[in-house]
Amino acid sequence: MELIQQTPDLSAYLAADEVIDHHHPYVRKTAARLAEGVADSYAYARAAYEFVRDTIPHSADSGDLRVTWRASDVLEQGTGICHAKAHALTALLRAEGIPTALCYQRLEYDGAQGHCLHGLVAVRFNGAWHRQDARGNKEGVDAQFSLGGERLAWVPQEERGEVDYPVLYAAPHPDVVHALQEASDRPHLWEALPNAL
């Protein structure tokens, strides 16, 4: 699949905003800690990815009802769904000057009961984008940081109505952000999240 930048301006994929708040002191402190002792930007990107994937539980896996959406809050509270974790990883990578995009998949959940929008990121190295999924591993999910072929949590199956969206967004999709901001808890969020773009 050919990935498509939403905007041709690469600097947009380094920007901070209300959601990807990589100027926040907690994000900067976390980034600085992860950068200690790493050899280069590749090693930092892997360290940041593994930190978000492995130390911030996906709230559905852990049973946490809190809803986080701002990168600094995800890092401070240590919880979030895939979208929130993608926001945190994007902020950590951009804090160290690594262009990072947000991207999405439409996936089936609960058998054929419905679909959900899944959030992941893409990092830019050597003139190319590489998608990464820091959702968090569990039984049946083994996502890995990779610049040599995707190792995502899921590969969408067209026959199930699943979609791999090719657009690389410089900012989180507004429908996702709105749902996260308005949800009182995670069960409410499941009802509010868009299931397609």
* Domain chopping of the chain, boundaries: 4-192
pLDDT band at 158 (very low <50, low <70, confident <90, very high): very high
Residue 183 and residue 106: Cα distance in Å, rounded? 20
Cross-strand pairs, 128: 125
**Buried (b) or exposed (e) across 78-112, using 16+ Cβ within 10 A?**
bbbbbbbbbbbbbbbbbbbebbbbbbbbbbbeeee
Q: Which CATH class is domain 4-192?
A: alpha beta
pLDDT band at 114 (very low <50, low <70, confident <90, very high): confident
pLDDT of residue 83 exceeding 60, the answer is yes
Residue 123 and residue 13: Cα distance in Å, rounded? 9
